[in-house]
Amino acid sequence: MKDSSRLRVTEIFYSLQGESNTVGLPTVFVRLTGCPLRCSYCDTSYAFKGGEWLSIAQIKAVVDSFAARYVTVTGGEPLAQEATLDLLRQLCDQGCQVSLETSGALDIAGVDPRVVRVVDIKTPGSGEMERNLYRNIQQLRENDQVKFVICGEVDYQWSRQLLQEHALEARCEVLFSPVNGVQNPRELAEWILRDRLNVRFQIQLHKYLWGEASGR
């Protein structure tokens, strides 16, 4: 039987947001343990197992100790744990500006509407494209974000086609991010400009500040 009052947590830390439209802003990260996906470029495999069981009250107390405005719940895959929805709601009630980083393989419909949902639609290069839950696209709101992690030109063209098929630019902000050390960032930027895509190009700021070993 699942425990709906506790969450398995890998780490809670204070850092600069490395991605999304709040990049560079001081943020508390709550990294939950466990993920049903195994993406080829995953940089947080250490969060697949282990972790520590914490109550929502304990998590909130740690978050509150940093006195930060922004909180990101990430993983792993946060929505794989039943109590995540309650955690998100309570963090919003606490006055935090909350974002959720999710793979897009699990239903986002139950997430509190105050939460910014950053949905990572899996590209062919991820090896997990078949796990995409495309009905999530219909749930997207203006304050949400969709992220495409690009491994190469095949991923770029696939993402571009999906962008157009679902009119994603009209739904929410769209992020295109190169896989660090795999896709040349300048090349991706030039493709975006060449094709006049209305997307946000982003690099993982934390990798430039703290190196490839950083999952932050």
For 149-190, write each residue's pLDDT tens digit: 999 999 999 999 999 999 999 999 999 999 988 999 999 999
Residue 207, pLDDT score: 76
Lowest mean pLDDT among 12-21, 70-79, 80-89: 12-21
pTM for the full predicted model: 0.93
- Structure-derived torsion over alpha carbons of residues 6, 91, 25, 193, reported in degrees to the nearest 10: 90
Q: How confident is the model at residue 1 (pLDDT cuts 50, 70, 90)?
A: very low
Average pLDDT over the chain reads 94
Lowest mean pLDDT among 51-60, 115-124, 161-170, 199-208: 199-208
Q: How confident is the model at residue 212 (pLDDT cuts 50, 70, 90)?
A: low
Q: How confident is the model at residue 5 (pLDDT cuts 50, 70, 90)?
A: confident
pLDDT at 213 over 80: no
What single string gives the DSSP state of each residue in 55-111?
EHHHHHHHHHHTT-SEEEEESS-GGGSTTHHHHHHHHHHTT-EEEEEE-SSS--TTS
pLDDT at 101 over 50: yes
CATH code of 6-210, in short, is: 3.20.20.70
- Structure token pair of residue 102: 């999710």
- Kindly state the average pLDDT of the residues 115-134: 97
- Structure token pair of residue 139: 């749930």
Output phi, psi for 21, to 5 deg. -85, 5
Q: How confident is the model at residue 136 (pLDDT cuts 50, 70, 90)?
A: very high
Residue 214, pLDDT score: 53
- Kindly state the average pLDDT of the residues 125-152: 96
- Kindly state the average pLDDT of the residues 72-96: 97
> How far apart are the two ends of the chain, measured CA to CA in Å?
32
Question: Which residue is associated with the tokens 């393989």?
Answer: 105
Output phi, psi for 62, to 5 deg. -65, -45
Q: Are 44 and 75 in contact (CB under 8 A)?
A: yes
